[in-house]
Amino acid sequence: MPLTPEQVNIIKACIPILKEGGVTLTTRFYQNMLSENPEVKGIFNQAHQATGAQPRALAHALLLYATYIDDLSKLTDLVERITAKHVVLNVQPEGYAIVGKYLIATMKEVLGEDVATPAVLEAWTAAYTDLAGLLIGIEEKMYEAGEWRGYRDFIVQQKIQETPNVVSLVLAPKDGRGVKPGKPGQYIGIKLNDEKYFANSAGTVRREYTLSDIGDGKTFRISVKKIPNGKASGFIHESLKVGDVVEIAPPEGDFVLAEPETTKNIIFIAGGIGITPIISLSKQVVSQYPNISATLVHAVHDPEDQPFTKELSSLEAESKGKYNVVSYYSKLSSTEAPNKTGHITSDDIKKLLPTSPEELQNTHVYYLGPLSFMTDISKYLSELNVEHTHREFFLPDQSLIVA
C-alpha cells in the first residue's frame, strides 16, 4: 500500500536525525538482531560489523531512502546492486520480516518516545513494508531467471595458492551437469557449512566472491584473500580441501564490459584483490575485442603480494602490444620499468588517457579496490573529466560513501 502524503512528510522530517545519528541507530540494530537471531548471522560478514562498514552502509541507505522517498527512481542503481547481492546470498522474504521487526524496535529504543512517536513508527513501518515488497518482487524475478534457484552443490576441484594470502578455488558441479558461464566481472554466492568453525552463526556462512575465471562451462574459479578475523576467508584458506563440497548460487552483477563494440581504449585500475574481476574482463578484451587498446594498472604492496602474474604476462604476449600491465609497488623503493613505486596519482592516470576529446569519449575506465583506494581513484577521474567510468564494491555498498 502506498504511503500517505503525511507519512512521506514524516519520513522526510527524519532526514536530519539520520544524518546526525544514523550510524548509532544501525549499529544498535545489528547488535540486537544478530545477537537474537543466529540463523541470519551467517549472511552478514562479521569483519564488516567489527569495522563498522555494514552499519555505515545501512545508515547511508536509510538516509538516501528518506531523501528520495517520493522519487525512488533515483535509487535504481542502488536497488539493482542490493537485489543482486541478496540473490547470490539467497535472501528470502522471511529475512525481510526479521529485519523490519528489529529496525522498528531499534528506532523506538534509540530515538526514544519523544522522537519515535506512534506516528513516526507507523510511517517507517509502512515505508519499510513498501520497500521490502519492492525488493522481494525484483528478487523473485531474478531467482526465476537464474540457471538454478538458490544453492547447488559444487566440489572443490582444485585449490591453488596464488600468493601467501590469496588462494583460488576451481569449483565443479557435483552432479556433473556443467554450468552456463557467467559474464566476466560477475560474482557468485557461496555457502560454507561447518558446525564447529561457524558455531556462532548456526554452523554456516554465506558470502559472495568474484569469478576470477568464468570457466569453460564445466567449472568456475574464485580467488579469495585471507582477511584478518574473516571467518569465511579463514575457513577457505585453513580448512577447505580439494574434494570438499560447497554450495554455490548462480552468477550476478553488472560490473561487465560496457559498449565494447564502440570502445577504443580501456584502462583497468585494480587495488590489491580488486584484480579478481578485472582479470576476467582482461581475458575477454584480449580474446574477443582485439581492436581495443587496454592497460591494466595494478597497485599492490610488493611482487609477492601480486596474484595472476603469469596469466597477465600471457595476456600481454597474446595481445601483441594491445594489452599492457603496469604495477605499482607501495612497499618498494625501486623497480624496473614500466612498473613504478608508490601509489597511483592523478597525473599517472592522466598520462594513460588519450589527449584528443574524441579518443577520450571512446575510453572506459574500470576500477576496484579498498575503500580509500576507490575514493582516491573516483576523485582523480572526476578531476580529469572522464565520462565513462565503472566500478564494483567489495564492502557493503561503498557507492554510498564514494562520491
**What are the pLDDT digits (tens) for 281-335?**
999 999 999 999 999 999 999 999 999 999 999 999 999 999 999 999 999 988 8
pTM of the model: 0.90
Cα(113)–Cα(142) distance, integer angstroms: 40
For 152-252, CATH gives 2.40.30.10
> Residue 104 in contact with residue 125, Cβ under 8 Å?
yes
The CATH H-level (homologous superfamily) assignment of domain 5-145 is Globins (1.10.490.10)
**Which residues are known to be catalytic?**
96, 139
- Residue predicted with more confidence, 45 or 318: 318
**pLDDT tens digit sequence for 89-143:** 999 999 999 999 999 999 999 999 999 999 999 999 999 999 999 999 999 999 9
Sign, CA dihedral 232-235-237-242, equals negative
Q: How confident is the model at residue 395 (pLDDT cuts 50, 70, 90)?
A: low
Count Cβ atoms within 10 A of the Cβ of residue 74 and give its class: 0-12 exposed, 13-18 middle, 19 or more buried: exposed
**DSSP 3-state of 322:** coil
- Reading the block at residue 371, the C-alpha cell is 575503500
Q: Is 267 helix (H, G, I), strand (E, B) or coil?
A: strand
Check residue 375 and give its pLDDT: 92
Torsion angle of alpha carbons 247, 54, 79, 402, nearest 10°? -120
For the chain, the domains span 5-145, 152-252, 265-400
CB 374 within 8 A of CB 400: no
User: For strand 166-173 and strand 220-225, is the pairing parallel, antiparallel, or unpaired?
Assistant: antiparallel
pLDDT (average), residues 233-260 = 96
Strands (E) in 116-176, as ranges, are 152-163, 166-173
Residue type, 342: G
- Rounded distance between C-alpha atoms, residue 120 and residue 112, angstroms: 11
| 346: nearest Cα among 378, 324, 372 | 378
pLDDT attached to residue 150: 92
List CB contacts of 398: < 8 A, sequence separation 6 or more.
57, 371, 374
- Rounded to the nearest 5°, which phi and psi values hold at 229? 65, 15
pLDDT at 396 (0 to 100): 60
CATH number of 265-400: 3.40.50.80
Residue 402, pLDDT score:
42
